[in-house]
Homo-oligomer: A and B are copies of this chain.
Amino acid sequence: MKRITDTELIRSSNRRDIIQTLRRHGELARVEIGQYTQLSPATITSITSELIQQDLIIEQQGELNAETGRGRPKVKLKLNQQAVYYLAIKLSINEVSLILADLSGKIIHKHTKSVLTVSLSQQQLIDVLCQSFSGFLDKYAIERNKLRGLGLAVQGVTEQQGKGILWSPAVKGQQLELVEQLQQQLQLPVFISNDANCIAVALKNLPQYQEVNSLVAIQLGYGVGMGLWLDDKLYQGEAASNTEFGHTKFSLNGPQCRCGGRGCIEAYVGDYAIYRDASAIYNLPQADMLHPSEKQMLDLNHLAEQPHSPMQQIFTQAGTVLGLGLANVMALFNPQKIVISGPGVRAYPYMEAAMRSTLAENLLPYHQQQDVVEVYNWDEDLTGLGIIAIVQQHTD
């Protein structure tokens, strides 16, 4: 059990609460902040004074009472959005995306560029990241001293302690230490997380999931990722930060998975697996079999639209595997919500029926009544918003 002793700890927790409340609700009077945070007026007055002094929030006169035109107008507080910024870098196979957000978490600028990430060494990758960082800030004329932190969202497995990458397809499986060197070179706090965890955090920040205590984010796409929001915080494993839903097993002797094992859920449901299965039946154009393009994947959807198409069966099998995997997640975690997202939801309509029937057939009787699983249409900013929220949690 965590010990609660330090008054400084309490104050900084309260400070985070107030900033986060203003992020969620915009302009608020002090008394409204009290309603949302349950903090005492004295605490709110003291912390907001500090935040005003630090130029992080702005005080402004509210309007006079509309009816009487009299009375003392309420002073409203709001975040000084341009006071500080956060930068997210998303690292995927041969692609680097940068997103800049303001204090409120709103995206201000973004830019994506192709980089041959798979051929980079540790030092080369650090150089590329630093160059991208500087180029981006220069391009949009962002003052460096306004940056609060940098977040790296990585496709693959990151270390629980947040030092670097344990395994990522973006760097051909190399184990790379990144965080310390980047911190030194950029003189900035740097945080790293895997992309599925970022998606879980970003989903949790959406208005519809704010009251949900346990949310499982399933990310369909190249692989099959999972982010676990349990007991109102992100759950991370002991060594690796990942909770690898995609590498739980559907079948002991199933198809080859890129992890080296066989029969993993990903080996049926990941883009590469679906494309591989389709290639066995259709005469498809050549593709990077570990990373088919978005267009190549969309072409499979068109094939599935044809009547009696074998492509439908491939998607049905993927849906069945996904449904059994989700039944296991329900048995193990019994979460309030399972939200399926990621680029792979492009094929969700072809998988959903089989997924839902398999899930229903394999749920425990006392889980049957719940309507837990839903889809969230893919928004490619989600990963960046998630890592920015993680940076904010650490730097607020």
Closest to A43 in B: B5
- Asked if A59 is at the interface of the complex by the 8 Å CB criterion, the answer is no
- Asked if A52 is at the interface of the complex by the 8 Å CB criterion, the answer is no
Could you say which of B243, B259, B320 contacts A334, with CB atoms under 8 Å apart? B243
- CB-contacts of A227-255 with B (<8 A): 230-233, 235, 237-240, 242-245, 247-252
Closest to A11 in B: B4
Could you say which of B3, B5, B242, B334 contacts A239, with CB atoms under 8 Å apart? B334
Query: B334 touching A240 by the CB < 8 A rule?
Result: yes
A230 contacts across to B, CB distance below 8 A: 230, 235
Residue-wise, chain A 346-363 has the 8 Å CB interface mask toward B (1 for contact) of 000000000000100110
Query: B362 touching A237 by the CB < 8 A rule?
Result: no
Query: B238 touching A362 by the CB < 8 A rule?
Result: no
- Asked if A157 is at the interface of the complex by the 8 Å CB criterion, the answer is yes
Query: B5 touching A9 by the CB < 8 A rule?
Result: no
Closest-CB distance, A170 to chain B (whole angstroms): 16
Could you say which of B167, B327, B370 contacts A366, with CB atoms under 8 Å apart? B167
Query: A364 touching B244 by the CB < 8 A rule?
Result: yes
Residue-wise, chain A 239-283 has the 8 Å CB interface mask toward B (1 for contact) of 110111101111110000001110000000000000000000000
> This chain: how many copies in the complex?
2
Could you say which of B213, B320, B366 contacts A157, with CB atoms under 8 Å apart? B366
A226 contacts across to B, CB distance below 8 A: 332
A333 contacts across to B, CB distance below 8 A: 235, 237, 243
- CB-contacts of A151-184 with B (<8 A): 157, 166-167
User: A365 and B260 in contact (CB under 8 A), knowing A1-B233, A5-B40?
Assistant: yes
User: A14 and B3 in contact (CB under 8 A), knowing A243-B334, A244-B331, A251-B251?
Assistant: yes
The complex places the Cα of A5 from the Cα of B252 at a distance, in Å, of: 50
- Asked if A112 is at the interface of the complex by the 8 Å CB criterion, the answer is no
Closest to A242 in B: B334
Query: A362 touching B43 by the CB < 8 A rule?
Result: no
The complex places the Cα of A233 from the Cα of B239 at a distance, in Å, of: 18
- Asked if A324 is at the interface of the complex by the 8 Å CB criterion, the answer is yes
The complex places the Cα of A243 from the Cα of B214 at a distance, in Å, of: 14
Query: B5 touching A38 by the CB < 8 A rule?
Result: yes
- Asked if A13 is at the interface of the complex by the 8 Å CB criterion, the answer is yes
Query: A214 touching B238 by the CB < 8 A rule?
Result: yes
Query: B39 touching A365 by the CB < 8 A rule?
Result: no
- Asked if A328 is at the interface of the complex by the 8 Å CB criterion, the answer is yes
- Asked if A10 is at the interface of the complex by the 8 Å CB criterion, the answer is yes
Query: B231 touching A38 by the CB < 8 A rule?
Result: no
Closest to A329 in B: B332
Query: B1 touching A243 by the CB < 8 A rule?
Result: no
Besides A5-B10, A248-B327, A249-B362, 11 other CB < 8 A contacts?
A: A1-B16, A4-B10, A5-B39, A167-B366, A230-B235, A231-B233, A235-B333, A244-B331, A248-B331, A260-B365, A261-B362
Name 13 interchain pairs, CB-CB below 8 A, sorted by A.
A1-B233, A3-B17, A5-B40, A214-B238, A239-B370, A243-B331, A244-B364, A247-B331, A248-B331, A249-B362, A252-B320, A260-B365, A261-B362
Instruction: Name A's B-contacting residues (CB within 8 A).
Output: 1-5, 9-10, 13-14, 16-17, 37-40, 43, 157, 166-167, 213-214, 226, 230-233, 235, 237-240, 242-245, 247-252, 259-261, 320, 324, 327-328, 331-336, 358, 361-362, 364-367, 370
